[in-house]
Amino acid sequence: MKTTLDINDQLLADAKALAAQQRTSLTRLIEEGLQMRLRAQGAPQRGKVRLPVYNGRGGLAAGVDPLSNKAMLSALGDDA
């Protein structure tokens, strides 16, 4: 996405020089800086999410048919 920014002239010159020294684009340098700043602030990151897994014991109450919604709701006392 293209956008327009007002950046201090000296900061822009320094950033261009650093980008040239590292043989990268000014865009990439700015993106990396924003990513670092967002990570430091604890911004949510995209990627894999670990879902909690319940490894407990137990299971269904005796006599409840897990294939029947009606039986499950009845066992919960919510057969409305």
Whether residue 13 is contained in a domain is answered as yes
How many domains are there within the chain?
1
pLDDT of residue 38: 86
Name the residue range of residue 25's domain.
Answer: 9-40
Task: Enter the pTM of the model.
Answer: 0.49
Classify burial at 10, counting beta carbons within 10 Å of its beta carbon; exposed 0-12, middle 13-18, buried 19 or more. exposed
- Residue 15 confidence (pLDDT) above 90: yes
Backbone angles phi, psi at 75, to 5 degrees: -65, -30
pLDDT (mean) for 50-75: 84
Whether residue 72 is contained in a domain is answered as no
Whether residue 14 is contained in a domain is answered as yes
Whether residue 50 is contained in a domain is answered as no
Minimum mean pLDDT range among 3-7, 9-13, 61-65:
61-65
Percent of the chain at pLDDT > 70 equals 92
Whether residue 35 is contained in a domain is answered as yes
Whether residue 47 is contained in a domain is answered as no
Supply the mean pLDDT for the chain.
86
Classify burial at 30, counting beta carbons within 10 Å of its beta carbon; exposed 0-12, middle 13-18, buried 19 or more. middle
